Structure 1
């Protein structure tokens, strides 16, 4: 189809040039005949032919000289607009939106100009870069906020500790707050580093075959001080499943989900951990009896730095990166992670992974 369109384009140009030459030669013929009759001279046929041909080419050159700048002017306008758009993008201004019809103003609707695709590509590139820039600015803003809050607390309480008249009880309280904020900063730094490593295309995945049920039992027992301290009823039902995955990354995934469930489950609550296998996939469901998540928050729960309950999450020391790490690890293993929840009825996180990815 494209070859046929190219052939028709060439044929049309050949016909137009031929018609232009024919018109110039015709004008040269009648002009030369008028001049011969005016000066009363009849040249030889060969000489008359050469003069007529030369004069026709001169007329054709004059026409090209007159029409050429008009055509070049339109092309210059088109390329100048594209160059200005690319310059804006290079300066960081991604609000570029060229009119796709600009490249097709002189073309027919059924035969679009080939530059239309170029204009659309520039628009797509600008739109994608704008999305990336918005995400970058949002990321910087979130990081600055998450770092700024504990630093402000540390600075304020450290300044208060300079008071020599402060009693020991209050001093211990302020020191504990400073220590807590330092731990929070350290955890934020670790999570940011993990995300940077996971986002890197050079991240080496070390996948092996291992028993997933044994890994989950080990991690649940490792978290026993946390859930036992809150008197949480931990119910674990696991099938024997062998999976091919990066064991270290899986540990990070399950730790984040289990800690998240423990954090939001009230004292005396319940957490269920189920592991099943079927149709080449394994499914892990972790259900808590916490406050639940609204439908609106569920749509953004895996975004970086997103917190469903800002005040509650901040009080519990969250940074909004744990579930982002979970989502990234699951994505790297070609699986899916989802959440189902109703406000006041807890939340269920379901991770589905291929047995052999």
Structure 2
């Protein structure tokens, strides 16, 4: 057919397309008569059509060259065509194809229709008896369908009734890429010259449609590239974040903020699970665990967005058994739970933390690692939203990365705890070893000292035992000599008796010291007059002290002072202290004996001080001065080293205490040496001063 289709044929074709009830209507007889009429004047027709077509094509080319936007290009071309063909409206619609996306429309209306509201007559074309839609060239069935779709898409918003349409499909590269619709609001019969003119600009319009589709394709690709760049930047940020030294909660907060912002969500949530039974995480799915979910990270697009901080802090945690939405992750095989709109899904039971009433569109994806669900990442939208496949892929990568970060952090934390525990154990072991080493060193030092003491003791004892025996042996040999006088006999007998007494006293001291250390006997207390007893003991030493140029000064209480003590032990203590003072005092000095009564911790005490002036006692010597067989370094005065050890044992036997203090005297090399003896006044130490009175 030359110009159009018959009414019956076109009507049957158009009935297959919703919204358009009548098809392309151009009687075959009318087309043939119009062709015959035009062929009678070929010269005039060609001359009439060539010039307008050329000018029109030039205008369209100029629009294509100068216009930068796709919508503006179609709008300007529609205006040029509408004015050139003197129609009420011109509608240009691109055809959706493999390379192009959605259809793009460009409309132009005459000035008298620009302020009118949209007309609904497009939906009642079947009521018209006259032909409505005609093609500028012989259409195929594909062209008919394309024209129908373009009218349904491009003419819905037109403000005028549609009474006549002249349409043509444009082809570029053997593919249909657009439709031109010339529309009149009154019934009109399209002439062959109009059809020929429209057909003549078809190729240049096809170029325009191709330009528009390419521009839209480039724009969509640029948008896609920007989206990919944002997604790549997100993955890069998360990778750098996973390598940082931030705490886990800080990393999760930054991760959900970056993800939600990059994917254009209104709100993002990160929820971690804590299983009541840790072994459940290794069990297969389709079982609802006994686990508690806790919100650990949240991001909101604006301050007005829903924020779970408005909720009670207890509502930020919930049990999985109370949230049907989370249960679907365990019961279904899908990797994510997608809600495009929650409004019509009242059958879903969701925890209050999600706030689906305000944010109905949701994408919930589990944080999974080796089959173990660690938690959920949630993106929410206030408006209904369809989540694209690329967004789901990015979300899966983000969840996988976050899951790895959680596992790595937990593993590092466990390793760090193990390292800390092992380090602490090693430190304790080293401390124990150090203490053992120190004790061993002390034991070795003590053994060395004991060995030295033993050697010194043996040397001392051998001298102290051998010297009297030697003197006794010498005295016995002299006594056996014939002709010895009685005077010499008496002298050597005295020596023999004196040396024998020394030997006996030494042995007795050793036995006494051993007996005191084993606590074999309890002290036998008796009451003495302390002032009198001290003067008696000091008087027995007066001759020895005077021979060394020493004198005794007494500082005794004015009134008589009683003391309950063991007389033998008390006498021996005072004798040893006076003996020690006589040995180590500087010549022509005074030995002081001070006595006083004190109440210490509600117990009556007697304080006796023996003070002499001599070479000072160092701090080191003071630590072992009361030890057995120990003598001060550099002290060459003869002795066994048992005197002060025996004093300390006797003092402890009497429940008392003894201490030594060496105070240097200014501008001299001497010191004031004070032995302080503290004894309970009464045998019963618990007896208070008031009771004694």
TM-score (ref. length: structure 2):
0.30
**What is the Cα deviation at residue 327 of structure 1?**
1.5
Rounded Cα–Cα distance in structure 1 between residues aligned with 2:649 and 2:640 = 16
Matched with 1:27 is none
Q: Deviations over 1:172-221 (max 9, x none)?
A: 77666555433322221221122122112222122455543343233223
Residue 327 of structure 1 is matched in structure 2 by: 648
Shift of 1:253: 0.8
Paired residue for 1:148?
A: 466
Contact 2:617 2:662 (8 Å CA) reproduced: no
Label 1:161 to 1:217 Cα distance change in 2 as closer, same or farther (>3 A). Answer: closer
Equivalenced residues, count? 246
Instruction: Give the distance between the partners of 2:475 and 2:617, measured in 1 at CA.
Output: 36
Q: For 1:182-261, what aligned pairs fall within 5 Å after superposition? A: 182-208=500-526, 210-227=528-545, 232-239=550-557, 240=559, 241-261=561-581
1:303 pairs, out of 627, 630, 638, with: 627
Distance 1:275 1:125, change over 3 A: same
Structure with the largest fraction of helix? 1
CA distance in 1, matches of 2:610, 2:552: 11
2:679 maps to 1:353? yes
| 8 Å contact from structure 1 (residues 253, 329) kept in 2 | yes
* CA-CA distance at 1:275 after TM superposition: 0.8
CA distance in structure 1 between the aligned counterparts of 2:657 and 2:567, rounded to whole angstroms = 15
Query: Per-residue CA shift, 1:9-38, capped at 9, x if unaligned?
Result: xxxxxxxxxxxxxxxxxxxxxxxxxxxxxx
**1:50 aligned partner:** none
Residue 58 of structure 2 corresponds to none
Residues 200-209 or 170-179, more deviating: 170-179
Stretches of structure 2 that go unaligned for 5 or more consecutive residues are 1-420, 686-693
1:292 to 615, 625, 649: 615
Higher RCO (C-alpha 8 Å, min separation 6): 1
Q: Is the 8 A contact 1:237 1:274 kept in 2?
A: yes
SS of alignment partner, residue 512 of structure 2: helix
In 2, the alpha carbon distance for the partners of 1:162 and 1:264 equals 39
Q: Contact between 1:305 and 1:320, CA under 8 Å: does it hold in 2?
A: yes
The DSSP-based 3-state class of the residue aligned with 1:223 is: helix
TM-score normalised to structure 1 length: 0.52
Task: Report if aligned partners of 2:460, 2:640 keep a CA contact under 8 Å in 1.
Answer: no
How far apart are residue 273 of structure 1 and its match?
0.6
**Hey, what's the Cα distance between the residues in 2 that align with 1:111 and 1:266?**
59
For the 8 Å contact 2:475–2:492, the answer to whether it is kept is yes
Aligned to 1:337: 659
Query: Structure 2 vs 1, CA of residues 171 and 207 (structure 1 numbering), >3 Å: closer, same or farther?
Result: closer
Distance 2:597 2:659 in 1: 16
TM-aligned CA deviation for residue 279 of structure 1: 3.7
Give the distance between the partners of 1:284 and 1:268, measured in 2 at CA. 23
> Given that residues 456 and 629 in structure 2 are in contact (C-alpha distance below 8 angstroms), is that contact kept between their aligned partners in structure 1?
no
Separation in structure 1 between the aligned mates of residue 530 and residue 544 of structure 2, nearest angstrom? 22
Once the two structures are superposed, what CA deviation does each residue of 1:45-102 show, in whole Å capped at 9, x if it has no partner?
Answer: xxxxxxxxxxxxxxxxxxxxxxxxxxxxxxxxxxxxxxxxxxxxxxxxxxxxxxxxxx
Q: Paired residue for 2:606?
A: 282
Distance in 2 between the 1:142 and 1:309 partners? 14
**Greater share of strand:** 2
Question: Matches of 1:125 and 1:173 in 2, distance apart?
Answer: 56
Q: Tell me which structure has the larger Cα radius of gyration.
A: 2
Aligned to 1:313: 637
The 3-state SS of whatever aligns with 1:313 is coil
Change (3 A) 1:125 1:266: closer
